[in-house]
Amino acid sequence: MEDDAKLRETVLAYVKDEYIDDEDEAEELTPDTPLISGGIVDSFSMVSLKVFLEKRYAIKIPDEDATPTAFDTVAKIVELVKRFKEGK
Amino acid sequence: MAYSDKVREHYQKTIKEIHEGGLFKEERFIHSPQAADIKVEYPEGAELASLINMCANNYLGLSSHPEVIKAAHDGLDSRGYGMSSVRFICGTQDIHRELQDKLTKFLGTEDTVLFPSCMDANAGVFEAILGEEDVIIADRLVHASLIDGIRLCKAQYDSFKHMNMDHLAQKLEMHQDKRIRLVVTDGVFSMDGDMAPLDEMVALCERYDSMILLDDSHATGFIGKTGKGTHEHFGVVGKIDIITTTLGKALGGASGGCVSGRREIVEMCKQRARPYLFSNTMPPVIVAAASRVLDIISETTERRDKLEQNTKYFREKMTEAGFDIRPGQTPIVPVMLYNAQLSQDMAKDLYAEGIYVIGFFYPVVPQGQARIRCQLSAAHEREHLDKAIAAFKKVGAKHGILGLKKKEIIEKFGV
């Protein structure tokens, strides 16, 4: 079972790898950088992140919980994953 | 009254928010036919200004071409004004069939079906051919109409980084368990003017057993040696399974679009695509004119050659002048400004100098990527371009951006 720090690191690494081309921008990305409201990830491309989280952590995030707000920062995504892992 | 004060206030508040967010779109009233020189009323009620149009999709300068107008008149006289029907009831004339055949031949495909617009073609094609066992893998910057079409379809969705072939390969590999894979891309991307590497994409699709869909709306008629489109430029004519494109840009610019490609895909669209089944047929007048456009561009490459020369000249001179121009070969030339306000201020100053351009900013382009998008046309003469370049230099100097690179512009104006 991953601890919080490891979970955060995994999600951050995935977001950088999946959505960011520019190395400088990847450097600047923190757990609190707004991803969707900040225009880094569009809400439609968010689908691949949801699929990744569900596979990696063997959870199911219902569509009503996979909102742009819930996915807006790495920190929020980590909270969401934790909630569903605990609820399992 | 159903339209209560509460409902009215709701919309008024939303419109106010659009204004406050700097996202309010206004119309400018053009009092002349679409051309390089136009007369514009803006703001509403203002005296007409004579402007050089640098933002139309009139790539081949055929929107008001005398032969096209004559063909439209002939179409009106011989086939009437409206058809009052969808295609499959009583809305298909011989000239619809003729135009479809000409498009098939021009694009180098197996068959074609017309739609009221390319927006409709994109809205209808995915749902008609894919189900939930299938996956669509789209470039992240594809046109909004493709995204809308993808949303309407039950297939699974994934995306890859803009024109990143390694990322596309990873995604194709990952989705090998799906029944059908469909890679989706624009040929020329409308905001950056860059071209999807279709030769590499076709090779990947062959390797990973995937179909490919190309929206070539900003390429049909002028990209490639004979103007067939991006697939001709990359030497993959006949290898693109589905092409969607428009008659509303280079091909006369009125309206209409199509799905062109594998015979069975076209047939599936005729059987199942909702905008084909439930929307009116293209009017005879437009069909007749578009048909003449295809004759013109099949007879000679003169117009696309002139557009290519104009593009080269404008890109070179603007780069020499010290603007930060996205490199490329297409007639979509983004003058990068990064800051939204700067893009609006410069467009306004250029208008005062007799040049009609529009500043684009978030959410039309990503945050911090504001720009003025110039579009070249075969209707532009050298004098038009020289006037536009001189005006850009004057306005660029006023704002102190000539010679500045991305980082320096951002340092000066912020994003």
Residue pLDDT, tens place only, B49-75: 999 999 999 999 999 999 999 999 999
Q: In what order do the strands lie in the sheet with B211-215?
A: B111-115, B257-261, B242-246, B211-215, B181-186, B135-139, B156-160
Q: Looking at the annotation, which residues of B are catalytic?
A: 190, 218, 249
Residue B219 CA to its chain's centroid (Å): 8
- The three-state (H, E, C) secondary structure of A15-70, written as one string: HHHHHCCCHHHHHHCCCCCCCCCCCCCCCCCHHHHHHHHHHHCCCCCCCCCCCCCC
CB B107 within 8 A of CB B228: yes
Beta partners for residue B159, in sequence order: B138
Predicted complex ipTM exceeds 0.85 = no
Global pTM value: 0.94
A21 touches chain B (CB under 8 A): yes
| Confidence band, pLDDT 50/70/90 cuts, at residue B398 | very high
Matching residue, tokens 């297939």: B155
In this structure, are strands B242-246 and B257-261 parallel, antiparallel, or unpaired?
antiparallel
| Confidence band, pLDDT 50/70/90 cuts, at residue B157 | very high
The residues near B323 (Cβ < 8 Å, ≥ 6 apart) are B335, B336, B392, B396, B401, B402
Q: What is the pLDDT of residue B104?
A: 98
Q: Which of A21, A42, A47 has the CB atom closest to B161's CB atom?
A: A21
Looking at residues B141-166, what average pLDDT do you find? Answer: 95
Q: What is the pLDDT of residue B297?
A: 98
| Confidence band, pLDDT 50/70/90 cuts, at residue B1 | low
Name the token pair of A43: 């809400």
Measured in angstroms, the CA of B204 and the nearest CA of chain A are apart by 19
A45 touches chain B (CB under 8 A): yes
pLDDT at B294 over 60: yes
CB B256 within 8 A of CB B282: yes
Q: What is the pLDDT of residue A48?
A: 86
Say how far apart CA A33 and CA A70 lie, in whole Å. 13
Say how far apart CA B331 and CA B250 lie, in whole Å. 11
Query: Is the peptide bond preceding residue A62 cis, with omega within 30 degrees of 0?
Result: no
Say how far apart CA B308 and CA B325 lie, in whole Å. 17
The residue in chain B having the minimum alpha-carbon distance to the alpha carbon of residue A19 is B161
The residue in chain A having the minimum alpha-carbon distance to the alpha carbon of residue B146 is A44
DSSP code for A72: S
Q: What is the pLDDT of residue A1?
A: 55
Measured in angstroms, the CA of B328 and the nearest CA of chain A are apart by 19
Q: Tens digits of per-residue pLDDT, A19-68?
A: 888 777 778 889 999 998 887 888 788 888 888 899 899 999 998 898 88
Q: What is the pLDDT of residue A47?
A: 85
Which residues between 361 and 380 in chain B have a beta carbon less than 8 angstroms from any beta carbon of chain A?
A: 362-363, 366-368
Per the model's pLDDT, the better-predicted residue between B322 and A36 turns out to be: B322
- Residue B159 to residue A48, Cβ atoms within 8 A: yes
Say how far apart CA B313 and CA B374 lie, in whole Å. 13
- Report the share of chain B in percent with pLDDT over 70: 100
| Confidence band, pLDDT 50/70/90 cuts, at residue A88 | low
Q: Tens digits of per-residue pLDDT, B230-273?
A: 999 999 999 999 999 999 999 999 999 999 999 999 999 999 99
Looking at residues B357-385, what average pLDDT do you find? Answer: 93
Question: DSSP of B302-351, one letter per residue?
Answer: HHHHHHHHHHHHHHHHHHHTT--BPP-SSSEEEEEEE-HHHHHHHHHHHH
Q: Which of A19, A39, A45 has the CB atom closest to B367's CB atom?
A: A39
Mean pLDDT of chain B: 96
pLDDT at A2 over 80: no
Q: Tens digits of per-residue pLDDT, B17-46?
A: 988 887 888 899 999 999 999 999 999 999
